[in-house]
Amino acid sequence: HPNIRVGISYQQFDAELEAIDISAALSFNGTVLTTAAGRVTKEELEAAGAESGDDAKAYSLNAYYDLDQLGVFKPYLGLGIGFADIENTEDDELMISGYFGINYLLTKNIYMGLRGAVRRIDGPTDLAGIDYDDITYKEIGAVLGITF
């Protein structure tokens, strides 16, 4: 189909830890005796000697659907599936992406444009076994491409 394109992408980003929320309960014979909750910041973790590496690399296979062309402008929507490799975590995590953008046709085969993306990454587990929430990040960027 002439309106469908596929592509691969690679991104580097920081998955920066802000804080960890901790909660605990003490129970005896099924009765909760007391509870406690608190928040530990990235700075407090690092002061205690914990590593909180945040470098991440993401790889994705993407499909794009080109909408009706508006003169030399071509808007599009896209979906992607891939994985993210986050520093100091146990495994690579599933990543799902949604894209929207508009390309300006420089020639029949060369384009430049703007693209927005929203990515959701399954919550990682760090090397200490702590599970984290899912990560959602948004980006807007410039693109340069070739069609053939």
For 53, phi then psi, to 5°, come to -55, 140
Average pLDDT over residues 118-145: 89
Please tell me the predicted confidence (pLDDT) of residue 52: 61
CA distance 58 to 35: 39
pLDDT in tens, 63-115: 999 999 999 899 999 999 999 998 888 889 999 999 999 999 999 889 999 99
Three-class secondary structure of residue 32 per DSSP: strand
Cβ–Cβ < 8 Å for 95, 120: yes
CATH fold of 4-16+53-146 reads Porin (2.40.160)
pLDDT-based confidence at 48, cuts 50/70/90? confident
Please tell me the predicted confidence (pLDDT) of residue 50: 67
8-state DSSP, 124: P
Three-class secondary structure of residue 44 per DSSP: helix
8-state DSSP, 6: E
Q: Nearest Cα to 108, choosing from 145, 77, 61, 134?
A: 145
pLDDT in tens, 11-31: 888 776 677 777 888 888 889
Residues of the chain with CATH 2.40.160.20: 4-16+53-146
